[in-house]
Structures are given as C-alpha cells and as structure tokens.
Structure 1
Amino acid sequence: MSRFNTATARPVGSGPIHTESTPSTLTHEGAPGYARDTKSALFLLAVSNMAGEDTYYEKAGDRDARYADLVHAAALEDPKWTARFLAWLRSEANMRSAPLVGACEFVRARLTAQRRRRGANRAVIASVLQRADEPGELLAYWTSRYGRAIPKPVKRGVADAVLRLYDERSLSKWDSAGRGFRFGDVLNLVHPTPRADWQGDLFRYALDRRHGNAEEIPESLTVLRQRGDMLSWPVEQRRALFANDVVASSVLRTAGMTWESVAGWLQGPLDARVWEALIPSMGYMALLRNLRNFDEAGVSDQVAASVSARLADPGQVARSRQFPFRFLSAYEAAPSLRWGHALDQALQASLAQLPALPGRSLILIDTSASMTGTSLSARSKVTPAKAAAVFGVALAAKGVDVDLRGFASGEFVHTVPRGGSVIREVDRFLSRIGEVGHGTDIAGAVRRSYNGHDRVVIVSDMQTMTGGVDTAVPGHVPVYGFNLGGYRAAAMATVGNRHEFGGLTDATFRMVPLLEAGRNADWPF
C-alpha cells in the first residue's frame, strides 16, 4: 500500500508568514493561538494598522506600542528587509500613518543601539514621505514622542523629501495655520538647500509667510502670484468667472486652486457651473469623494459621463492606488444611480490581480461582531466586514466553481451570479449580516461547509472561539487565511498547506497560484 504516492500528493510551497508549530497563547476569543515570528507579525499588523485607531479587541495605545516594538526588533534583526518593507508600505500598499511611524521607530531603534550604517536611516525617512504634508506629519510624530531634539538622519531624510515635494501648488494646498508644523517650521528645522532659484524663492516666502512677514510674492512664483491676485477680487467678480466654464477651468488651474480652496474663495455654495469648471482639473480621489456633491449641485449628464469615464478607466484606477473598498463607500454615499456602473467597473479594475481560482473553492467571509462592531478608522464608515465582503464576493465572481458563505456562529449560503455587479452583490451580502449570530467559529464554519473543495479561503480577523482550524479539512487541501486584523495570535499554524495573507489590496492573492504550483511565495516587495 502506497503511503506517499497517492492521488492527493502534490508539492507544497511555503508562504512568507510563519508561526510556531504548536500553540503557546490564546486568540482574543479564547481559542489556542500561535505566535508569529517578528517579520510575520510586523507585516500583518502594519498592513491593517491605522495608527492611533482603536480596533474591536485592541486599544489604540496598545496596538501602536506593539507596532513600535515590532519595528524596533525588525530594524535590528534585518534592517535591509525592514527598509524595503517600509518603502513598500507607503508606496504599493498605499498606507500613510503606519510607514511614517515605522520610519521614525526604525531610526530610533538603530540610533539607540548605535547602529549607524551610513545613509541607511536617512534613506528610510525619505522613502516614506510621498506627499507634501507628510514632512510636517513625521516631525510632529517624532517631537510628540521623543521631544524636539531631532537626530541628523531624520533631518536629512526630511530635507531630501522637502526638495522633492515642496512647490507652489503644494504650498497652496497644504500650508495652513491649522497645522502644528507649517512649511516654514519644517524648513527652519531641516535647512534644505534649494535645487533651483525658484525653489529658493519659495522657501524664503514660506518662511516669511510663517512669521507674518510676507509682504510681496516673488516674481518667480507665478502660480502663487496669480492666486494672490484672485484673492483680492470682489465676490461678484469671483462668481462672474464661472460664466464660461472653459475659461474658469483654465484660470483656476493656473492659480493652483483646488476644489477645497474654491469653496472658501467663493464664500458660498458650489453650484453646477462651479463644479463643471473644477471637474477637468480634479484628481481621481477628489472625484470619488465628491459624487454626492455633484448630484446635489445638479451637474449635467454630459459632465457626469466624463467623470464616469475617468472613474472606470483601468489605468486611472491603477494610478490612483485606491483601496477596493473605497469604491463601495462611494457607491453607498452617492444618491444617484448614474455612477453605479462606473464604480462597479472601477472596483473590478482595482481587483484585477485576483486570480481566477481553478477547480472548486470554498470562500468564508467573517460577519461576526468583531468584524462589524468598529470601522477601519474614526473617519470612515467602512467596517472590516465590508472590506472582507469586497474580496470574498470578487473572488466568487471570478472563480469557476465557488461556494461563498458568510459565517459567525453559523453560516449562510450566498450565491453570486456569473456576470453580475460585484458592488450590488457586496451590498446584498452585507444586508445579511446578523443572520447567523455574532460569534466567531472559524473551525466549525470550515467543517460544516467543506465538501470536497480544492481549497478554502477565510477572510476574517482570525480571532476565533474554537480551535482546530488546521485540522478542519484534510491536510492536502490548502487553507488560506486572509487576515484583516493583524492581532497578536494566529488562529492556525502556517505550516504545510496552511497559509496566511494580509492587507487591503489584491496584491497578496498573487501568492495563491505560486503556492499551489509548489513554489515558494516571497514577500510582495
């Protein structure tokens, strides 16, 4: 009798997330929990961590302290890996607060341990600063945590970013009295050497403006001069500009006027004419955020069609780096149905890298209280359950033979029709939350739902009440846990055919075909 050469024999690849093989701790719901190594724990926490935000099981302070400790450990154990990870976290993963905090803690740990590889700390700081408001954000974090004595690598890294990011338009958009660190404060602290005459003029003007001494805008700063001239117009002249939307659009673009600044400049509501002049120069995220405003102002169907075309364009979706759940949020916020098809196309484009899973797949989406009881951030209405549903329904829509279940204390069956709208199916799935209780029984859901499938995908915060997730299906069947919580304890050991991913984009699902082909899947950076 053959022991190894059986019909179910297949090569096994290993994923990058590693745990111990036997449980040494407990999940937040009391099941046996598996500790992860430093890199695995840091990756899963960082890709789900909105700094300063409470989650269902963890207070913000505890979560942020755990993140800082993990960065410290990784920065000393493998600084090259950690540097690559933090740069990826800000760029491809499109996180903002976590990489800024991580870069500061990376430098802090290495300076404390007297690890001073030339230029490494400076490069990490510069790599996570990709928007002009972020140098001030990073300095505000450092000084609030470690005081006003700012180390040279931090200053030099911030200075490198300032030279890349500070221009007339960024000064107009991000430099305001409401910020603790204005452009002038950053310049005073890091002393960057301007790369061109116009940038030197900009730096001097930003410093003068910060201290109330800006009497005249230099000739070289044409955008700021145009903007300054427009601020002197009487309100009647400002409104009259929009008699011709083509002219208005050109004038506003030349002056670097964003929709936010126009709203204050007009000293009144933005009507359809104003929006129609602004829309051609608005960025992708600004369009996505303002669909309700477009409807309420009554922009024309012709202009709405142009907005829809931009929203649905796969190239613009990719360049925008929006999280997939953002399109669901926009769909929920917009009162008009005229955006629905474009947002559905945009959502599917944002999930273009989700694999079409061959064979039979079981997909389980967690609808328990911990997935629905809190939002991803205080400024968002998106719950982990919504983010989970986006991925689960999209996988079901793309797969050939997929059984989709929602689960908590029990399970419900959800059928996704071929060719249907992913956004509508997500909406319909979410309306069923609460049907099967509010506990988290992952192992039970797997055991009760498994019926000879080729793989099992679990989208959850992985904090289960019951053990045995590892053994709920035969060992040759791959089980993929898509972790949206990043909590300390894993619900299953990631050995053999048991794997764990994390994050709010589709990038990590690229690992599935590699793992099933028996090849090892490395970090996505």
Structure 2
Amino acid sequence: MSFNTSRKSRSDAEILTHEGGRGFAPSAAMELLLLVTGSLFSGDTFYERDIHRKDRLARLAEPVTQADPEFVAALAVYARQGLGLRSGPSALLAHLFWWGPTALAREVAKGVWLRGDEHLETLAYTQAQGWKLRKALKQAVAERLNTMSPAALLKYRRRGRSVSQKDALILCHPQPKDRDHALVYEYLVRGPQALPEAQAYAQALLEERPTWERILSEQGRTPQAWQQALPHLQGLSLVRNLKNLHGAGLLQDPEARSLLLQKLTRPEEVRRWRLFPYQWLLAIFQLEALSTSLAELPASRALSEVKAALELALEATLPPLPLQGPSLVLVDLSGSMFSNLSQHSEATYALAAASLGAVLYRRTGGRLYGFDDDLIELPYGPEASVAQMVRHLLDQGGGGTCLGHALQQSLAGFQGQRVVIFTDEQVHDDAETPLRRWIRAGQGRMAYLVNVAGYAPLAIPEQGVVRVGGFSERLLALLPLLESQDPVAWVRTGAWRALA
C-alpha cells in the first residue's frame, strides 16, 4: 500500500482481464445483464467465490434499480422466461420491491414466480440483505400462495431451507381463498399438531397419484421400485436417472427399454421438456462411458440404442435459426471454461459453450473452431451430430485463453458475414484489434460475443459488437433481433419475446 497514489483516476487506469490481457469496463447495466444471465448462483466459479458473486449482484443491482427500475424489471422477466433461470430473477425482484416502484414489482412478480418456490427465493434474498419485508412484498407473496394449487404448496414445502413455505405463510399472512387452501395452510404451519381434517386432506393430496419420488421413498431404490417409477419419469428427471435405470437392469430389459424409447422418440413431447442441449449431452456421454465398460455385446447394444434415441431427442429440440449465410463460430476451451456451472451440476461452461457452438454450426454452416492457446480445428462438417462435434472439442482444450490469436488465424480467408464467439472473455491477448479490423474490412459484417460466465471485465468494448450473456440455446434464436439494438435496450423493450 502507498500514500503516494497514482494521479490516474480509476476510470483512466488500465483495465486487465483476469488472465492479464487488455480489458474494458462494462456499463453497470451491461455487467448486471451478463452476471444474471450467466449465473446459477450456486457454488464457487473459476473466477469468484459464491459469496463474492452474490455480493457483486447486490452491489450492481442497487444502483441500477434506483436509476432504471424498468430495465431491471425487464431483465428479471427475460432471464426467467427467455433463458429459464430462477435465482437471479428472484433476487432482482427483491431489489425492485425494496428500491423500485411497488406497482412495477408486483407486476413483475407474476412473470418471475412461475415455479412453486421462487417467491421463497425472493423472501430469502430479502432477509439475506437485512431488509425488512415491505408490505407490497408480503401482499404479493400472499397473492402467490393463494394462486398456487394445494398440491403445489405441498410439493414445494422446502422444509429445511432458510425460508420454507411455512415461513412464507407466517410472514405474509394470506387469507385462504377457499376451504382447500385453508386446510393446506393449517397443515403446513402446524404440522403434526394440525387439525385431523387438515392432516387427512394433506395426506390424500400427497398420495393422490404416484410419482417416481414417492415410489422410491416408500420402496427404496430397488430394481422393482425403478420399474414402477419409470412410467412417471419424464423430462430432466428421466434424463438424469438413466444411470440409475441402467443399474437396475431396466435399459437391458426389452419391455422397459421400449417404454423409455417411446418417451424419447416423441418430438413434440421432448420439446415440451425444455432441456438445455448440455443436459442431453451429459446423458449421452454418460451412456457412452457405461457402454465402453460393458463386456457383454447385447448390453452394449441396448445402451447404444438408448443413446441413439437421446441424440434424436436432442436434435428434435434444437431451435430454428432465421440466420442467413455461413458463420464463423469460436468456442472458448481454456482451462477456466471447464469449471462447473454450479456446485450441483456436472455440466461445465465449456460443455454449454461447445453445445451452443455446435448447434449454430449445424444450422448455418461455415466453420467451427475451439480455441485455447491455439486454434482447435473440427474434423467434421455441419452434417455431423452435435454430440460428435462437442465430444471432439471437449477432448482438445484446457490451455490458456488466446482469443486474439484464434481470431487472426480463423478470420483469414473467411468469406462469411458473421462471427460468433462463446467465451468467458478473460483473455490473455488483444482480441479487439483483429476483430475490429475484420469488421471494418467488409460491409454488413457482424460480430456476436456470447459471454457464458458473467464475469467482468470485457475483452472487447460494448460498442461495435453484439454482446449477450448466458448459456441457453434460446439465445441463438434471438441473435437476429440483436443486430438492430444494443442488448440493454433490447432487454428493456422486450424485443426478445418475438422469437422466445
């Protein structure tokens, strides 16, 4: 430390990325956008501890909400409905109830609290900031509780969390809208001391229809229990439990496998599951690993059959992309990108970025490269499967983040009009100069930069490139809209709804 400090103001001081390359400070609104859209807020990341990431959210959201509550409101709804995120939007809503107009906050709550426990996230965040619960927030939560079905209230009890459904009832005092809600409220608040009528009603709801969770909790994780649970598995619960189904012998059982394949080969149904591409790919790679460990040929063939169905399901969920002409797609495969999206996820930022790059390449053609210290070429054309492309890319990376070097190599001879980069922006070298040179050299050229990790500073200034944050495949379908507006304005105006 020194008392004889530099005459340079903070704004004039040199800004470096985490890796020591030339960096650029984002506006507060842009930094908040990237942070919220690129974060699950669950566990440490490569660059930040979890507590520091959450502190940064609070430091950013406070002034931005005070200055521009309408943008924060639009960002919360976009992150929730456009990208399928939950924790960040619920936290932004807490800031709106504390700093913003209460009428706006109550309206936004209807677009953010879509699942049965998201109002609990807002309450927990409010308490974590040391704020009192404003009357408007209590009223909004009370209204939300009364609009939820009694079954949903029981499903999302969240016992053992810092704020449970019981806590929400005690804090917000909803007046039950009917007898059923009154009985469930009684059961949630008083538990074993609830009136016998309330206990009987709640128990009947819990047993109303068998679910895979209830079957397994009652019978244990036996092969017989998994056999009974299989018809009730769908969406993420099905994909995540394929390893368990294999362990129970069901993937080798012709009847059980036939039921599973029926679920996976209905395009309309799998599209409704709204899984991210990386979630499909995790299951595909897991089955590949299991298959290589099997000595029995019939068992290996059974797994291959299920894996092929997963690949078809993934292909069925890929979004249409109204983009004309080939793309140059660059996927950051540096060491930092191989950190997990959250402490509860096996997926990495590299997996999410590579899956988005492969999807875009499939749709537009052109060229797809990975990069770390060097450019990583892909030996496949766009007709290859997404899983094949992603598998190759992930096997190659792990070095530094030399985006400038990758741009210099890959842009040479590229005749298309579009460059799309998936990265965390923490580069070693100068990425701005080669990209700007390419943009200026031809009319109508566009550069998109997708920041998948939400960390600042930026590798390239906001102006002159189209920047967006997150790791949802829904971003790809929205890229054309970004050409006409800056991302902050694009979120504020709700233009994303046109293709979401």
1:27 and 2:17 equivalent? Answer: yes
Q: Deviations over 1:309-355 (max 9, x none)?
A: 33343433343222221111122334333321232223233331345
Cα distance in 2 for residues equivalent to 1:39 and 1:310: 42
Cα distance in 1 for residues equivalent to 2:172 and 2:205: 29
Give the letter aligned to residue 383 of structure 2: G
Select the residue among 174, 179, 183 that pairs with 1:197.
179
Structure 1 residue aligned with 2:221: 269
Give the letter aligned to residue 22 of structure 2: P
1:461 and 2:424 equivalent? Answer: yes
Cα gap change, 1:412/1:468 in structure 2, threshold over 3 Å: closer, same or farther?
A: closer
Structure 1 residue aligned with 2:254: 301
Structure 2 residue aligned with 1:330: 283
Select the residue among 434, 441, 445 that pairs with 2:406.
445
Task: Report SS of the residue matched to 1:471.
Answer: helix
Task: Report SS of the residue matched to 2:196.
Answer: coil
Asked if structure 1 preserves the Cα contact closer than 8 Å seen for 2:408 and 2:434, the reply is no
Structure 1 residue aligned with 2:360: 395
Select the residue among 321, 337, 347 that pairs with 2:274.
321
Structure 1 segments of 4+ aligned residues over 6 angstroms from their partners: 518-521
- Give the 5 Å matches for 1:116-515: 117-146=101-130, 149-171=132-154, 173-175=155-157, 177-209=159-191, 212-214=192-194, 216-218=196-198, 221=201, 224-225=203-204, 227=206, 255-266=208-219, 268-271=220-223, 273-299=224-250, 300-334=253-287, 335=290, 336-355=303-322, 357-359=324-326, 361-372=327-338, 374-400=339-365, 402-434=366-398, 438-450=399-411, 451-454=413-416, 455-472=418-435, 473-474=437-438, 475=440, 476=442, 477-496=445-464, 498-514=465-481
Structure 2 residue aligned with 1:8: none
% identity of equivalent residues = 28
Structure 2 residue aligned with 1:17: none
Structure 2 residue aligned with 1:18: none
Cα gap change, 1:514/1:105 in structure 2, threshold over 3 Å: closer, same or farther?
A: closer
Cα distance in 1 for residues equivalent to 2:482 and 2:433: 17
Task: Report SS of the residue matched to 2:193.
Answer: coil
Asked if structure 2 preserves the Cα contact closer than 8 Å seen for 1:48 and 1:485, the reply is yes
Asked if structure 1 preserves the Cα contact closer than 8 Å seen for 2:466 and 2:486, the reply is no
Task: Please list every run of 5 or more consecutive structure 1 residues that lacks an aligned counterpart in the other structure.
Answer: 1-20, 111-116, 228-253
Task: Report SS of the residue matched to 2:238.
Answer: helix
Asked if structure 1 preserves the Cα contact closer than 8 Å seen for 2:453 and 2:470, the reply is no
Give the letter aligned to residue 262 of structure 1: I
Task: Please list every run of 5 or more consecutive structure 2 residues that lacks an aligned counterpart in the other structure.
Answer: 1-10, 291-302
Q: Deviations over 1:196-234 (max 9, x none)?
A: 22112221222221xx3035244983x72375xxxxxxx
* Cα RMSD after superposing both structures: 2.8
Cα distance in 2 for residues equivalent to 1:342 and 1:479: 35
Asked if structure 2 preserves the Cα contact closer than 8 Å seen for 1:217 and 1:225, the reply is no
CA-CA distance at 1:22 after TM superposition: 10
Cα gap change, 1:35/1:315 in structure 2, threshold over 3 Å: closer, same or farther?
A: farther
Cα distance in 1 for residues equivalent to 2:98 and 2:168: 19
Q: Which stretch of structure 1 is more off in the superposition, 506-515 or 476-485?
A: 506-515
Asked if structure 2 preserves the Cα contact closer than 8 Å seen for 1:131 and 1:165, the reply is no
Cα gap change, 1:185/1:452 in structure 2, threshold over 3 Å: closer, same or farther?
A: closer
Cα gap change, 1:185/1:448 in structure 2, threshold over 3 Å: closer, same or farther?
A: same
Give the letter aligned to residue 391 of structure 1: L
Q: TM-score, normalised by structure 2?
A: 0.83
CA-CA distance at 1:460 after TM superposition: 0.9
CA-CA distance at 1:146 after TM superposition: 1.1
- Number of equivalent positions: 458
Cα distance in 1 for residues equivalent to 2:249 and 2:451: 41
CA-CA distance at 1:49 after TM superposition: 1.3
Cα distance in 1 for residues equivalent to 2:145 and 2:136: 14
